[in-house]
Structure 1
Amino acid sequence: MKNIRLPLTVVGGFLGAGKTTLLNRWLREAHGLRMAVLVNDFGALNIDADLIAATHGDTLALTNGCVCCQIGDDLGRALVQVIESATPFDAVVIEASGVSDPWRIAQIGMAAPELSLEAVVVLVDAAAVAQQSRDPLLADTLARQLRSADLVVLNKADLADAATRAAADAWVEATAPGTPRLEATQSAVPLALLSGLPGPAAAAGACSVAGCTHGHAHEHAHDHHPPDHGALFQTWSAQPAAAFGIDALRDFLREAPPGLLRLKGWLRTGEAEDGEAAWCELQYAGRHGSVRRTAPPRDGRAAVVAIGLRGQLPAQALARFFG
């Protein structure tokens, strides 16, 4: 059996799309889960002073157990430091620079057997991207970022009128057809939706309003409030008693029903050679899915949790498959 690997999420998007705001929000929402956030520049991240416990060279230790590492010129070295940390982390998040291709960064992370790529999340400025995409100097960079995405967040939707939002949505669909996408204000995207943090119960609970706090590093000063996560997102969960075939699970993820944004679970897959129950971990985020053998969960119970936009989550299809 493979050891449990650290879930890796790469956050990309052009300059000013809201990546820094998203990272600050996720750090605020960690709730005891240890994240390692790798960034190019601490100054740009602008973490609230009351969240910083200590500074050690290129590393910030936060009061909630998370850390931020400044990448510098060597992403590989920063990843090794995270992987070899004396105190294990629950997840790794890498912020790609505003002009870089997040898929190239994801490939570096995938080269480490201790990491498991969960999703490439690309933020798009809904108020500006239609105009930016018409600039020949920017068009290629924007398109490359988008084509690597498992999920596209049309951010700053509150700053765009209906026609501008429609133009942004049309450009995203034309550039990366079929890629799941959602609108957001001030990068208000639940951590559980994207990060691959452990625990089905945690994933479901983090979508509630009570489990969300609002970040402070906003890139635009205005009075709009982030949307109610409970109103935007819907969860579905089950504790299947049956055993599932690995191939059947992979086929399901390959043809995942429309409306599914996030899926995670631990399921039985029959018996192992020693007669004990065999288990697998199931992951799906946007367009990226994986099934891999793993150790049994601590409580010995199968569980699966799905997240989607309210009214679009394919609950019936999930119930038919997982029972």
Structure 2
Amino acid sequence: MKPRLPLTVIGGFLGAGKTTLVNRWLREAEGQRIAVLVNDFGALNIDAALIAGARGDTIALTNGCVCCQIGDDLSRALIEVLESGTRFDAVVIEASGVSDPWRIAQLGMAAPELALEGVIVLVDAAAATAQARDPLLADTLERQLKAADLVVINKVDSVTEDELARVREWVTSVAGRTPQYETSQSSLPRVLREGLSLPATRTSGGCADASCLDENHADHDHAAHDHGELFDTWSCRPAQIFDADALRAWLRDTPPGLLRLKGVLRTGEAGWSEIQFAGRHGTLRKADAPSDGAAVVAIGLRGRLPVAALEAAFAAGSN
């Protein structure tokens, strides 16, 4: 079974920092080939040193990434990327400042080659409360927040603590339990941008009845040294066979504090399933048997990862 390309949608209102985040992603690709679909090349201001060449609606970058202009047809732009013959590691779509990122995510999910990694929505801390009071903007802003798997409150260095508290309160009132991350200049750790393939930071716990993933599996290049103080991870190799319906029910009501979860589990005598969770959305899909057995990895902000709930879900007795 051919693995699907991770798809990430970046949303947020005009000026929230989406383009800055895309530029960071491209500069920090570090060997990954990323296809970025944007509404307007002119707004990106890609570093000149990164540009290898441009042709039509595509800019080729020296690191193997490409930027493609969406134009009026996102579906066509996606098809062109997927049929380009280039092996990509991920697809990132920057939504326009007034669009609904969830509708874009749904369109991308219609392609069988893609798997939704998550929807990241940026909020301008300096402008959010005033924008939220504007009756012409409120509906757009709320739709964007309700689509988010992760809300990034950006530009926190430009507001007072009281102003930031009001932004947090507004985001929570709209987005509920959706995880929030606060930063400036769209600085977002790779473990939150790209999800989980392997543990990226210090492990805070592990399965009681299964061997934990050993330290050599940690993807240290993904922020283990820079962001270990921000995140906790939990990982294990559960030996039991899981009930698929029970897993889906767990994904619909995940414990607070969980940012991301990914794994491959036995779900039948001869069946394997890939489990993923990002912010608000969880999926369980049929998967090929992994060469190194079952594994689950989870991440949360430091001190908030629900280790006991993870232990109960994935380290309980066999079904």
Q: Do they fold alike, i.e. is TM over 0.5?
A: yes
Match of 2:153 in 1: 154
Aligned to 1:284: 277
Task: Write the distance in 2 (CA, Å) between the matches of 1:75 and 1:63.
Answer: 24
Distance 1:196 1:86, change over 3 A: farther
What's 2:53 paired with?
Answer: 54
Distance 1:67 1:282 in 2: 29
Output the CA distance in 2 between the equivalents of 1:284 and 1:149: 13
1:186 and 2:185 equivalent? yes
Mapped to 2, the partners of 1:303 and 1:206 lie a distance apart of 20
Give me the whole-angstrom Cα distance separating, in 2, the residues matched to 1:196 and 1:56: 31
Aligned AA for 1:208?
Answer: A
Give yes or no for contact 2:29–2:63 (8 Å, CA) kept in 1: yes
**Are the structure 2 counterparts of residues 39 and 256 from structure 1 closer, same or farther at C-alpha, using a change threshold of 3 Å?**
same
SS at match of 1:140: helix
> What amino acid is aligned across from residue 277 of structure 2 in structure 1?
Y
| Partner Cα distance (2:293, 2:25) in 1 | 28
Q: Is the 8 A contact 1:8 1:196 kept in 2?
A: no
Q: Which residue is 2:289 aligned to?
A: 296
Unaligned runs of 5+ in 1: 211-227, 273-277
Partner of residue 214, structure 1: none
Q: Which has the higher contact order (CA 8 A, sep 6+)?
A: 1
Q: Secondary structure at the match of 2:25?
A: helix
Work out whether 1:322 is the aligned partner of 2:314: yes
Counterpart among 301, 305, 318 of residue 313 in structure 1: 305
* TM-score, normalising length: structure 1: 0.85
Q: Which residue of 1 aligns with 2:102?
A: 103
Tell me the distance in 2 between the aligned counterparts of 1:207 and 1:160: 29
| Partner Cα distance (1:44, 1:157) in 2 | 23
C-alpha separation between the residues in 1 aligned to 2:311 and 2:27? 33
Q: Which amino acid aligns with 1:90?
A: D
Preserved contact between residue 146 and residue 175 of structure 2 (Cα < 8 Å): yes
Match of 1:252 in 2: 250
SS of the residue corresponding to residue 235 of structure 1 reads strand
SS of residue in 1 equivalent to 2:8: strand
Aligned-pair identity in percent equals 66
Q: Which letter does structure 2 place at the counterpart of 1:262?
A: R
Given that 1:233 and 1:308 are in contact with CA atoms closer than 8 Å, whether structure 2 keeps it comes out as: yes
Amino acid in structure 2 at the alignment position of 1:231: E
Please state whether the residue corresponding to 1:230 is helix, strand or coil: coil
- Cα deviation 1:215-264 (Å, max 9, x = unaligned): xxxxxxxxxxxxx5322222222222333222222122111111001111
**1:102 CA displacement:** 1.0
Pairwise CA distance, 1:207: 4.6
Which position in structure 2 is the counterpart of 1:83? 82
Q: Secondary structure at the match of 2:300?
A: strand
Deviations 1:66-104 (A, max 9, x none): 211111111111100122231322221110011111122
When the two structures are aligned, how many residues end up with a matched partner?
298
Secondary structure at the counterpart of residue 182 of structure 1? strand
Output aligned runs, 1:217-232, within 5 Å. Answer: 229-232=227-230
Instruction: Give the AA of the match of 1:75.
Output: L
Per-residue Cα deviation, 1:175-223 (whole angstroms, up to 9, x for no partner): 22222212122212123324347x325685355255xxxxxxxxxxxxx
Is 1:270 matched with 2:268?
A: yes
The Cα offsets for residues 32-55 of structure 1, whole Å up to 9 and x where unpaired, read as 222211111122112212222222
Match of 1:220 in 2: none
Question: Which amino acid in structure 1 is aligned with residue 100 of structure 2?
Answer: D
Partners of 2:101 and 2:119 within 8 A in 1: yes
Contact 2:242 2:267 in 1 (8 A): yes
Between stretches 109-118 and 32-41, larger displacement belongs to 109-118
Unaligned stretches of 5+ in structure 2? 201-217
The aligned counterpart of 1:176 is: 175
Q: How does 1:223-242 map to 2 (within 5 A)?
A: 229-242=227-240
In structure 2, C-alpha distance between the alignment counterparts of 1:21 and 1:170, rounded to whole Å: 25
Alignment root-mean-square deviation, CA: 2.0
Query: C-alpha separation between the residues in 1 aligned to 2:87 and 2:156?
Result: 37
Question: Within the alignment, does 1:4 sit opposite 2:19 as a pair?
Answer: no
1:293 corresponds to which letter in structure 2?
K
Displacement of 1:116 in angstroms is 1.8
| Structure 1 residue 3 displacement after superposition | 4.1
Structure 2 Cα separation of the partners of residues 159 and 93 of structure 1: 28
What TM-score does the superposition give when structure 2 sets the normalisation length? 0.86
Q: Does the Cα contact within 8 Å between 1:8 and 1:195 map onto a contact in 2?
A: no
1:39 alignment partner in structure 2: 38
Once residues 204 and 247 of structure 1 are traced to their aligned partners in structure 2, the CA distance between those partners, rounded to angstroms, is 31
